Amino acid sequence: MAHEPVLAGEVTDFLAPALEEGGVFVDATLGRAGHAKRILERAPAAFLVGIDRDPDALEASRATLAPFGDRFVLVRDDFSNLAAVLERLGVAPVRGVLLDLGVSSPQLDEPARGFSFRNAGPLDMRMDPSASLTANEVVNTYAQHELERVISRYGEERFARRIARSIISHRPIDDTEELAEIVKEAIPAATRRTGPHPARRTFQGIRIEVNGELEALARALPAAVGSTQPGGRLAVISYHSLEDRAVKRFFLDEARDCVCPPGLPVCSCDAEARIRILTRKPVKPKDAEVEHNPRAKSAKLRVAERLATKRKAAA
Ligand SMILES: C[S@@+](CC[C@H](N)C(=O)[O-])C[C@H]1O[C@@H](n2cnc3c(N)ncnc32)[C@H](O)[C@@H]1O
């Protein structure tokens, strides 16, 4: 049930210049503190703020990071509240922020959390166990068109309509094993024989809906840039194309000095690049890492550096 930090060497290498002088660093997806531990080891003068919405993650990380004494603080919150958390702690602007998106291995591997299509467990899938929306509500109460939207948009599943129809006709559905079997049966046999587990995409879609993952990311990215000091760095690891697309688009927008419509003779916008992209292409794990940790396979790391505000400096 351990969690192997993904692209750990690459992440710390990219963050190293921002860490050299110490300062505050934020791991906004603490998980089992795999990256956090490496950051604290690499930067002996740094202080770490670790955020997670899963209390189990915080408890386990507290033990892992105990040898670092008073060099860290852990906060239970949603990373979409990043700016408020840092303001409350009085530590903004910080030297850098890491977002390692998605779920951790202990969350996936614990059947009682309901994330796994391989083990029987309750239809839960909440990262924050006190949140109100569960997978059970999505699976057993959503209208067919809503289910289809979740499975199609968030799961990027081309058989979403068939799956949604089948889920409705099998209600009530009691657990993850039953759901996985229903999804599998709804997918054409020829397709089922190739590729990953046939329920993988549907489970991903429901998980993203339950945890509001894309909304949280959309709020966290601007907050992370806004909370980072010039020269500081923002690193984001994503695990599926929806997340990666959102990060890529956000980085490109934030790295532009002008957002005027094409064809205008002079720039009339007030935009100013806030970041410089350090990874022209996303960094992917090497074969050896994927062999050792298959969950790293789909990972993509994008890193940007915070720029100083030019206009304000000139004024
Ligand atoms: C992939 S794991 C991070 C693993 C970590 N980097 C490590 O090496 O142990 C993602 C973690 O982020 C947390 N998480 C995901 N979305 C979150 C959000 N919106 N707010 C706070 N924590 C979140 C999950 O609960 C999970 O523990």
Query: How confident is the model over 226-236, as pLDDT tens digits?
Result: 999 999 999 99
Calpha distance 52→106 (Å, rounded): 14
Whether the CB-CB separation of 296 and 238 falls below 8 Å is answered with no
- The Å distance, Cα 29 to ligand 1 centre, comes to 4
| Arithmetic mean of pLDDT, 272-301 | 97
* Token representation of residue 4: 């192997």
The pLDDT, as a whole number, for residue 1 is 56
pLDDT attached to residue 110: 93
The residues pairing with 49 across neighbouring beta strands, listed in sequence order, are 26, 73
With a 6 Å cutoff on the Cβ, whether 236 touches ligand 1 is no
CA of 100 to the centre of ligand 1 (A): 6
302 beta partners:
236
- Determine which residue's CA is closest to atom 9 belonging to ligand 1: 32
Angstrom distance (rounded) from CA 57 to CA 29:
9
- List pLDDT tens digits, range 108-132: 999 999 999 999 999 999 999 999 9
**Candidate from 7, 11, 15, 29 with most ligand 1 atoms within 8 A of CB, to mutate:** 29
Of the CA atoms within 13 Å of residue 106, those in its CB half-sphere come to 19
Q: In which band, very low, low, confident or very high, does the pLDDT at 312 lie, cut at 50, 70 and 90? A: very low
Q: How far is the CA of 66 from the centre of ligand 1 (A)?
A: 19
> Residue 196's pLDDT is what?
81
Q: What is the pLDDT of residue 195?
A: 74
Q: What is the pLDDT of residue 193?
A: 74
pLDDT score recorded for residue 259: 83
**Which residues have a Cβ under 8 Å from the Cβ of 266 and sit 6 or more positions away?**
none
Name which of 16, 17, 40 is nearest 30 in CA terms.
40
**Is residue 14 helix, strand or coil?**
helix
Using CA atoms, how far residue 302 sits from 117, 235, 257, in Å, is 29, 6, 20
At residue 31, what are phi and psi to the nearest 5 degrees?
55, -125
**With bands split at pLDDT 50, 70 and 90, how would you rate the model's confidence at 85?**
very high
Q: What percentage of residues in the chain have a pLDDT greater than 70?
A: 98
pLDDT attached to residue 311: 65
Q: Cα(52)–Cα(54) distance, rounded to whole angstroms? A: 5
> What pLDDT score does 315 carry?
44
Token pair 């339950």: residue? 210
Atom of ligand 1 nearest to the CA of 31: 27
Residue 20: per-residue pLDDT: 84
The residue whose CA is least distant from atom 7 of ligand 1 is 34
Q: Which atom of ligand 1 is nearest to the CA of 79?
A: 20
Q: Which range, of 261-265, 277-281, 297-301, averages the lowest pLDDT?
A: 261-265
Tell how far the Cα of 273 is from the centroid of ligand 1, in angstroms: 28
pLDDT above 80 for 192: no
Report the alpha-carbon distance of residue 245 to residue 150 in Å, rounded. Answer: 18
> Which of the four pLDDT bands, split at 50, 70 and 90, describes residue 52?
very high
Q: Is 130 helix (H, G, I), strand (E, B) or coil?
A: coil
Q: Report pTM.
A: 0.95
Q: Say if ligand 1 is within 6 A of residue 113 CB.
A: no
Predicted pLDDT of residue 194: 76
Stretch 73-79: mean pLDDT, rounded? 98
Give dist(CA 215, CA 283) in Å, integer: 24
**b/e code 39-69 from CB counts within 10 Å (16+ = b):** bbebbeebbbbbbbbbebbbebbeeebeebe
Calculate ∠ Cα 145-151-152, nearest 5°: 85
The answer, yes or no, to whether the previous bond of 17 is cis (omega within 30 of 0) is no
> Cα(14) to centroid of ligand 1, in Å?
20
On the question of pLDDT at 190 being above 90, the answer is no
Rounded-to-integer distance, Cα 127 and Cα 88, Å: 23
pLDDT band at 313 (very low <50, low <70, confident <90, very high): very low
Contact indicator for 168, 146 with CB cutoff of 8 Å? no
* CA 68 from centre of chain: 25
